[in-house]
Amino acid sequence: MATEPPESDEIPDSEAEWRDRLTDEEYEILRNRGTEPKFSGDYLDVKDDGTFRCAGCGTELFDSDTKFDSNSGWPSFFDANGDAVETETDTRHGMRRVEVLCSACGGHLGHVFDDGPDPTGKRYCINSVALEFDPEE
């Protein structure tokens, strides 16, 4: 069951507030559009039932039943929860990719590619650091 996105007053208004809320690693990924090293993330091999949330604001992003092993080195999902994420073109590093952002707080999550499994054909390639996991009780 999806929860409402956080109230706008719960989302920091300044980068100083984000720095206070997030760890250095979370800040680098979510606010500076960084990438964690391949095969290093805490959620890469999680197969438990539950919900993956934005580490920045708590918005429910992905259900565990959409997670799959892509062998890419990052947690991968074939679908996102409703309108929990948004995308934009990313031309950094001499590449043209589609960046995935949390629609509630604008945090950088990762990228999406068109090489995923059915039913969507999408592979949301997401940094573990950008996520929190709530196991199903």
Average pLDDT, the chain: 92
Question: Which class is 13-135 in CATH?
Answer: mainly beta
The CA distance from 124 to 77, in Å, is: 5
Nearest to 100 by CA among 81, 73, 119: 81
pTM comes to 0.90
What is residue 94's predicted lDDT score, i.e. its pLDDT?
Answer: 87
Q: Enumerate the active-site residues.
A: 125
Q: Would you place residue 9 in the very low, low, confident or very high pLDDT band (cuts 50, 70, 90)?
A: low
Q: What share of the chain is helix, strand, coil (3-state, %, to 5)?
A: 20, 30, 50
* Spans of all domains in the chain: 13-135
Contacts of 47 (CB under 8 A, 6+ apart): 64, 67
